[in-house]
């Protein structure tokens, strides 16, 4: 009888919470109105969106007016960078980011460079942390935006966003952060952190795919951001298009659950991660990547010596995990994040990412670790045998 693999790829996406599906169902069936329509069906949908927007705002301590719905974090990142550059191009042509951003930041920056924008890519240390002094020294009178990932999607390193924010605002520069992996894992207060723009999405917190948000702080003077999509003036003329009511309702419910369960889930997931890593460290030479003291609780990125992770993935069909970011695997390149923290090609090809969630159990985590350990030992023994045999043959 087929047994479903243990899912440890929760950085890529998460399983839909049944309570989220229950909240969405009426808007997939009877409550099907367009929220912009001026009749009963439209009113029902519009009210549902308003309620969901408030729940999402509560999660990050913003006002609901500061939440702009998008199709996901990738669009939010595109909207933030391209929208700010277009709006402030008369004031400067320089933006700052890091070498370990998600591809939806890196790729946008490469496109902007082709249009004359100067981009500074900050280096990181071996744990994935940026140098705050380098950030401060990189800001010029032409800098219009700093975009720093909050929690890295591969190695889990959490940046010092509060200090980064202080530096940016002392220089009069806007701060955007990609908080996709952080929301739901730790308490994010945009007021306390003084964040100007923040991208996040639903499907990383057990909500539906295809719906995300961009937080844009209400301030005086107003933060200007040009639209990427025109046609109808939805979302304050920033993101036109018929709103995805079922997904927005699901996003709102997922945000509500994430807020109410935050401490419980964070402690539970961290315990799973720690048990998993403790078991795997029985393998000689295993190295945990990222900043051990400032890391997402659901993240474990491990370099396993003398094996190729793709071989491990083929051998262990009972555990679903990844080599690096799902979006990055589309181009077939090695991880730019692991490269940025100093790993060589062999080390990168020997590194795996494991992501845990509230829907995992301690029993399956222990079983997954045991399966991986057994497979790693077999692969390492096989590798040692081949090397030894080759050496004998060459003598």
Q: Which residues are catalytic?
A: 327
Main-chain phi, psi angles of 217, to 5 degrees:
-65, 135
Strand ranges (DSSP E) for 245-297?
Answer: 287-289
Is residue 94 within 8 A of residue 120, CB to CB? The reply is yes
Question: Is 292 within 8 Å of 239 (Cβ atoms)?
Answer: no
CA 22-25-27 angle, 5° bins: 135
Cβ proximity of 340 and 100 under 8 Å:
yes
| Burial state string for 140-176 with b = 16 or more CB within 10 A and e = fewer than 16 | eeebbbbbbbbbbbbbbbbbebeebbbbbeeeebbbb
Q: Any bridge partners for residue 201, and if so which?
A: 212
Phi-psi region of 52 (alpha: psi -120 to 50; beta: other; left: phi over 0): alpha
């Amino acid at each position: 009888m087929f047994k479903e693999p243990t899912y440890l790829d929760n950085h890529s996406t998460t399983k839909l919470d049944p309570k989220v599906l229950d909240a969405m169902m009426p808007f997939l069936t009877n409550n099907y109105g367009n929220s912009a329509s001026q009749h009963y069906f439209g009113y029902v949908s519009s009210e549902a969106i308003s309620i969901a927007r408030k729940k999402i705002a509560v999660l990050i301590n913003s006002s609901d007016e500061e939440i702009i719905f998008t199709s996901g974090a990738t669009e939010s990142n595109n909207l933030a960078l391209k929208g700010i550059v277009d709006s402030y191009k008369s004031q400067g042509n320089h933006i700052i980011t890091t070498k370990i951003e998600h591809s939806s930041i890196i790729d946008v920056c490469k496109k902007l460079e082709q249009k004359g924008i100067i981009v500074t890519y900050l280096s990181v240390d071996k744990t994935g942390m940026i140098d705050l002094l380098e950030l401060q020294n990189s800001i010029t009178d032409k800098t219009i935006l700093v975009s720093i990932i909050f929690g890295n999607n591969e190695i889990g390193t959490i940046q010092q966003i509060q200090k980064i924010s202080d530096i940016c605002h002392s220089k009069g520069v806007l701060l955007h952060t990609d908080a996709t992996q952080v929301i739901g894992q730790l308490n994010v207060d945009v007021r306390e952190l003084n964040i100007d723009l923040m991208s996040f999405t639903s499907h990383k917190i057990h909500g539906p795919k295809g719906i995300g948000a961009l937080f844009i702080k209400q301030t005086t003077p107003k933060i200007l951001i040009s639209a990427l999509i025109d046609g109808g003036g939805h979302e304050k003329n920033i993101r036109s298009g018929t709103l995805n009511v079922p997904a927005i309702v699901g996003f709102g419910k997922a945000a509500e659950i994430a807020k109410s369960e935050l401490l419980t889930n964070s402690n539970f997931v961290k315990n799973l991660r720690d048990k998993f890593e403790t078991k795997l460290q029985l393998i000689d030479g295993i190295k945990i990547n990222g900043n051990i003291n400032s890391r997402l609780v659901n993240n474990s990125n491990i370099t396993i010596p003398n094996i190729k992770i793709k071989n491990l993935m083929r051998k262990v069909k009972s555990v679903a995990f990844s080599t690096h970011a799902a979006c990055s695997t589309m181009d077939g390149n090695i991880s730019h994040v692991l490269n940025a923290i100093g790993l060589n090609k062999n080390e990168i090809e020997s590194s795996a990412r494991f992501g845990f969630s509230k829907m995992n159990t301690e029993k399956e985590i222990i079983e997954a670790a045991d399966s991986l350990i057994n497979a790693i030992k077999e692969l390492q023994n096989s590798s040692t045998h081949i090397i030894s045999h080759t050496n004998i043959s060459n003598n």
